[in-house]
Amino acid sequence: MTLFGLQWASPLALYLLPLLVLPWFTRTQDKTIVWSKFVPVDPLSNIIGFAFKTLASIVLACLILSLAGPYLPEKKVDRIGEGAEVVVLVDRSRSMDDAFAIKGQLLMASVGKSDSKRRVAKKYLQEFIDKRPDDRFGFVLFSDKALDLLPLTYNKETIRATVDASALGKGLSETNIAKALIKAAEMYQGQTYRGSRIVVLVSDGGQEFTEEAKQKIAELYKQQNLTLYWLYMRSVTGMTLDAKPGDNERWTTTPERKLHTFFKSIGIPYLPFEIGSMKSFSEAIATIDKQQYQTLIVEETLPREDKAKVFLIIAMLAMFLLMLAQMYTAWGVRKAHQ
């Protein structure tokens, strides 16, 4: 049922509304006095009396209306925002539990403590999410299997909770980036194109893909018009993704470099970040943040909104006034009887 532009959960309660007249008819506090001629005539009292009765009626009305359960139904609103659609791929492999950006001996580092790569990644991802209110996020955690923890959603609470949860526990042994990348691309499949689409890959290692996987990834990413960011949290100091003259010989064949070469070869917008310190991590995040501001249509679902609270608050305020008056009255009566 619709009334005052609100939906009513139990409109039957509205049949109680005639009770509003009660305060105008009950006279429970009547005191018999000897002669009413002694009682002064006071127009202000009439106004106050009228106000009290109105307040009492308002209280009743609000209580009855709140009983009737007013609510605004759930609705979807399209609005234009700025941002992007982001799928975050986080490596869940065991190496991510290692401490991040340590100088010196790797073996001395703590494992799975607050300075682990996963924790650090979590912290900066949270920041990133907070900075971008209009973005739509998806979240994939991967080791040897890709877990699409969160399909694309606008719900910030859910995203934050998912990112939080991703940093719990210990990592698994295997890493399968290819599967994760395909999963991420699949998340965009079947979605209407709203704005720029980003895949943020957070990992600390690379992997060589099979030809089949490479082909599929290239095809999917082009088709879905995706932008790829790779936050490479490197564990070996000194190694860069791009080959440089004077590089260590062994580095040329590392999976990281191979992966980097592959990404470059697909022909999609791609940007790697080699992250060696906290600072560079935040810079990387800031860069992504800056780059990806496009107008996009944001579909927002406004949840069913319970409006009973408003009525209850009004009733409470009115009741509070009445209570004050009542206390003053009680004091007055007590004083008169002393």
Among 76, 79, 250, 337, binds another protein (CB under 8 A): 337
Binding of another protein by 40 (CB under 8 A): yes
Binding of another protein by 43 (CB under 8 A): no
How far apart, in whole angstroms, are the C-alpha atoms of residue 265 and residue 214? 10
For another protein, the closer CB: 21 or 330: 330
Minimum distance, C-beta of residue 327 to another protein, in the bound complex (Å): 8
Draw the binding track, 51-90, toward another protein (x: CB under 8 A; -: no contact): -x--------------------------------------
Is the sign of the CA dihedral 40, 41, 44, 49 positive or negative? positive
Q: Binding to another protein (CB under 8 A): which residues in 117-176?
A: none
Which residues are CB-neighbours of 268 under 8 A, at least 6 positions away? 221, 222, 226, 227, 228
Minimum distance, C-beta of residue 50 to another protein, in the bound complex (Å): 10
For another protein, the closer CB: 52 or 251: 52
Instruction: Count interface residues toward another protein (CB under 8 A).
Output: 30
Using DSSP, state whether 296 is helix, strand or coil: strand
Nearest CA to 85 among 16, 172, 182, 188?
Answer: 188
For the chain, what is the radius of gyration of the CA atoms? 33
How far apart, in whole angstroms, are the C-alpha atoms of residue 185 and residue 170? 26
Among 72, 172, 317, 325, binds another protein (CB under 8 A): 325
3-state SS, 57-98, equals HHHHHHHHHHHCCEEECCEEEEEEEEECEEEEEEECEHHHHE
Binding of another protein by 290 (CB under 8 A): no
Binding site for another protein (CB under 8 A): 27, 29-40, 42, 44-45, 48-49, 52, 325-326, 328-333, 335-337
